[in-house]
């Protein structure tokens, strides 16, 4: 696979060294590095790696850099669908975050810094806090190279759940360059660190000054870019008249280690001190301040407190005595520490962790479903089935419910994350939705018109790069035809905003036709995706034991609203009973017409024959044991209740409303259609489905045409 990195420059720091080791030892993957602030002294070294390509955009202006990086991500996503970018420094993190506002990709932020110390000025803190802000929205993972760094960053607010530690890794040293010793008959104390406010050269120099008062056979050897011109260091040496301090002009760390007998790291803070581990590998006596998990690979007697001059001098002096005595303790200590590095900090082990992380992020697709509630509606049921199907295919699925967590009439798979906003009205959740459009989801899917419009507004106002699919489950023109109130009129025209989504998922061809012809939605945006069905789940629940219930019975399950026109079923059943008095009718559901329906049943004196119940979570066992499933809608998209009835092999009687039922019949399903609002015909339909001439077709829901369309379209729309 191809792995992408962005870094300030390819200098001689710890981040660059670790990146070089990873790429050099990871031959089975190809790495692309983008550098945007300067080449750095190790640019040529990286360029020579066969599995690496370096792209230098440091000469571009900042807006041009953002534009280039955006196009870079866009072009590579076309090839591989999703890319993982490793960002290695604070300024790199900030640039990546700006680009991720515009286009989505997987961002792994490598934090290779100690965190904020007492030495950090206000200006030094700015990039850290900017990274903190952006990381909450855009980081997929925060990768620290020490637990101390992780703890320090989490103290100032970095996300704990996103954080993980991968220590730096090192390969076995097969050979070392041989350099001529320049200090004969001297014990060399060395420090390898560039000029930086976090590196505490002064403590070491002061400690050396104490030691030179008693010893003349020691040398202090300092190597690192910028230190030979550091005024504070030179002033201290001059002021205290410290002799035998030498500055190396080499950038080769092997040269430094070849000259050094005791390596000291005096630092106020480190993420992970590479120089300490590298020194141990080369069997050099190593001392360090207690920074960056140094306690994981150094013994306690080799660690001193930050800024403590006397303790530093004392630790060095102990080893000077051992060197002069040629003590065997030194060799045993060197062997023990080298063994720890080889065992716990092996580069191949670290690379295997990175490879697993890269692969997971390339393959993992995160989807957020947005629904108003988890009530008993068909749209909500489809989302629970769809999320279950996707999560079992390896997707990371979350359902965001705008409403209350007290309303939960649909089962959600245990692997699907569930979040409730507990808003009393969907409109009040718009600001929450804007925040979710900044979270790291590859795709957001919403259902039901009000929810769809809010998600589109959130996408617009957040300038989000998230993909958004909205589901339309009805025929808007038919809604106006039968229920043309002011609210429905507004919602009809608000649907024109669907053009701002990536796709409109339509559960029937009738819905597609209505949106295209009456709302002029671009047909390229309209995608036919039949309703999801978990047939195994439905069948399992349908065989559960039924409570004591009056039989034989017909059943209606759904909302009790103007759309569903349940009065038609009641009036038809009243006529049907005159010839078939042994039957009962069960109505399961809620809605604004429920009280009027109860009044109608009461007026017809049918309260003992027509039983109205709340929506039942396991409606399938009632469907399974019924004589037939009824639907009396004025309009539909694709009614779930009919699909569920066909799964449990029950006959269906439905009005021939625009869209769904007629479409299902065209596939060969066992559906009896009658004219809308014709209770006489509906009553005759009831008689037909109980007649001896009628027999339900077995396993009709497994119709190959319907199943093939769903499977094919499902794979198309959810492969992104």
Mean pLDDT of the region 540-551: 89
Q: State in words which class domain 187-345 has.
A: alpha beta
Per-residue model confidence as pLDDT tens digits over 269-283:
888 988 999 999 999
Tell whether the model's pLDDT for residue 694 goes beyond 60: no
Residues 6+ apart with CB under 8 A from 123: none
For residue 435, is pLDDT > 70? Answer: yes
What is the overall mean pLDDT for the chain?
A: 89
Would the pLDDT of 436 be above 90?
Answer: no
Instruction: Give the pLDDT band of residue 703 (cuts 50, 70, 90).
Output: low
pLDDT 10s digits, 453-484: 999 999 888 877 678 999 998 888 888 888 88
Structure tokens at 650: 């029950």
The class of domain 2-165 in CATH terms is alpha beta
Q: With both helix axes pointing from N to C terminus, report the angle between 328-344 and 274-281 in degrees, rounded to the nearest 10.
A: 120
Q: Does residue 667 carry a pLDDT above 90?
A: no
More confident residue, 196 or 702: 196
**CA separation for the pair 85, 93 (Å, rounded):** 10
Has residue 400 got a pLDDT over 80? yes
Helix (H, G, I), strand (E, B) or coil at 192: strand
Pick the CATH number of 535-707 from 3.10.20.30, 3.40.50.1370, 3.40.50.2000, 3.30.43.10: 3.40.50.2000
Transcribe 283-302 into DSSP letters.
Answer: T-EEEEES-TTGGGTS-GGG
In DSSP terms, 368 is beta-bridged to 398, 444
Mean pLDDT of 16-37: 91
**Residue ranges with strand state E in 295-381:** 303-304, 366-371
Phi-psi label, residue 244: left if phi above 0, alpha if psi -120 to 50, beta otherwise: left
CATH of 365-528, one of 3.30.300.30, 1.10.150.120, 3.30.365.10, 3.40.50.2000: 3.40.50.2000
For the chain, domain boundaries: 2-165, 187-345, 365-528, 535-707
**pTM (2 d.p.):** 0.70
Return d(Cα 302, Cα 284) in angstroms, integer: 12
Tens-digit pLDDT profile for residues 289-302: 999 899 888 989 99
Residues 631-641, mean pLDDT to the nearest whole number: 89
The average pLDDT across 612-632 equals 91
pLDDT of residue 699: 41
Q: What is the pLDDT of residue 642?
A: 87
Using 50, 70 and 90 to split pLDDT, how confident is the model at 173? confident
Same fold, 187-345 and 535-707: yes
Burial class (CB in 10 A: 0-12, 13-18, 19+), 174: exposed
Residue 163 has pLDDT above 90, yes or no: yes
């Amino acid at each position: 696979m191809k792995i992408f990195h962005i870094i300030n420059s390819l200098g001689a720091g710890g981040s660059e060294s670790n990146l070089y080791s990873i790429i050099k030892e990871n031959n089975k993957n190809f790495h692309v590095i983008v550098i945007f602030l300067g080449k750095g002294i190790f640019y040529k070294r990286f360029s020579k790696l066969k599995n690496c390509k370096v792209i230098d955009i440091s000469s571009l202006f900042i807006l041009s850099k953002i534009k280039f990086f955006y196009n870079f991500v866009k072009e590579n996503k076309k090839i591989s669908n999703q890319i993982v970018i490793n960002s290695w420094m604070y300024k790199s993190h900030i640039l990546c975050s700006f680009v991720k506002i515009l286009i989505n990709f997987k961002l792994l932020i490598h934090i290779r810094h100690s965190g904020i110390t007492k030495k950090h000025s206000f200006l030094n803190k700015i990039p850290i806090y900017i990274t903190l802000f952006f990381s909450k929205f855009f980081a997929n993972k925060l990768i620290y190279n020490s637990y101390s760094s992780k703890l320090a960053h989490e103290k100032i607010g970095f996300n704990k759940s996103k954080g993980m530690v991968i220590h730096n890794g090192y390969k076995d040293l097969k050979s070392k360059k041989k350099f001529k010793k320049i200090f004969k008959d001297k014990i060399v104390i060395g420090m390898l660190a560039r000029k930086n406010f976090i590196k505490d050269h002064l403590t070491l120099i002061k400690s050396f000054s104490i030691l030179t008062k008693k010893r003349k056979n020691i040398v202090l050897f300092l190597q690192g870019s910028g230190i030979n011109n550091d005024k504070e260091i030179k002033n201290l040496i001059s002021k205290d008249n410290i002799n035998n301090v030498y500055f190396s002009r080499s950038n080769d760390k092997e040269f430094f280690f070849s000259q050094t007998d005791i390596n000291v790291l005096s630092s106020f803070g480190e993420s992970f001190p590479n120089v300490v581990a590298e020194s141990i590998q080369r069997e050099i006596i190593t001392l360090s301040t207690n920074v960056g998990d140094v306690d994981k690979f150094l013994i306690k007697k080799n660690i001193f407190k930050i800024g403590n001059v006397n303790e530093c001098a004392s630790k060095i002096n102990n080893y000077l005595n051992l060197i002069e005595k040629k003590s065997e303790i030194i060799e045993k200590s060197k062997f023990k520490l080298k063994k720890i590095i080889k065992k716990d900090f092996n580069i191949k082990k670290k690379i295997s962790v990175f490879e697993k992380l890269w692969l997971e992020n390339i393959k993992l697709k995160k989807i957020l479903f947005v629904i108003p509630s988890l009530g008993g509606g068909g749209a909500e049921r489809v989302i629970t089935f769809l999320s279950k199907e996707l999560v079992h295919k390896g997707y990371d699925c979350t359902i965001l419910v705008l409403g209350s967590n007290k309303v939960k009439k649909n089962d959600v798979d245990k692997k699907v994350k569930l979040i409730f906003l507990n808003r009393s009205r969907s409109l009040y959740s718009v600001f929450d939705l804007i925040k979710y459009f900044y979270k790291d989801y590859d795709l957001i899917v919403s259902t039901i018109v009000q929810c769809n419009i809010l998600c589109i507004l959130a996408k617009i106002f957040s300038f989000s790069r998230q993909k958004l699919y909205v589901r339309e489950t009805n025929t808007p023109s038919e809604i106006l035809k039968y229920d043309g109130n002011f609210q429905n009129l507004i919602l009809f025209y608000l649907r024109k905003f669907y053009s701002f989504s990536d796709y409109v998922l339509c559960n029937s061809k009738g819905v597609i036709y209505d949106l295209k012809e009456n709302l002029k939605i671009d047909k390229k945006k309209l995608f036919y995706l039949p309703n999801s069905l978990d047939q195994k789940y439905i069948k399992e629940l349908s065989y559960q034991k039924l409570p004591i219930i009056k039989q034989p019975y017909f059943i209606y399950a759904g909302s009790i609203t103007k759309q569903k026109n349940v009065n038609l079923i009641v009036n038809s059943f009243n006529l049907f009973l005159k010839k078939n008095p042994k039957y009962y009718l069960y109505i399961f559901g809620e809605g604004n017409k429920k009280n009027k329906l109860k009044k109608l049943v009461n007026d017809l004196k049918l309260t003992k024959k027509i039983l109205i119940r709340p929506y039942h979570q396991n409606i399938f066992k009632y469907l399974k044991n019924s004589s037939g499933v009824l639907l009396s809608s004025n309009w539909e998209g694709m009614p779930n209740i009919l699909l569920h009835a066909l799964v449990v092999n029950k006959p269906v009687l439905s009005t021939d409303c625009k869209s769904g039922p007629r479409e299902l019949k065209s596939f060969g399903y066992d559906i009896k259609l009658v004219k809308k609002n014709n209770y006489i015909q509906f009553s005759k339909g009831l008689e037909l489905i109980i007649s001896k001439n009628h027999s339900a077709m077995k396993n009709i829901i497994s119709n190959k045409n319907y199943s093939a369309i769903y499977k094919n379209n499902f794979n198309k729309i959810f492969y992104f």
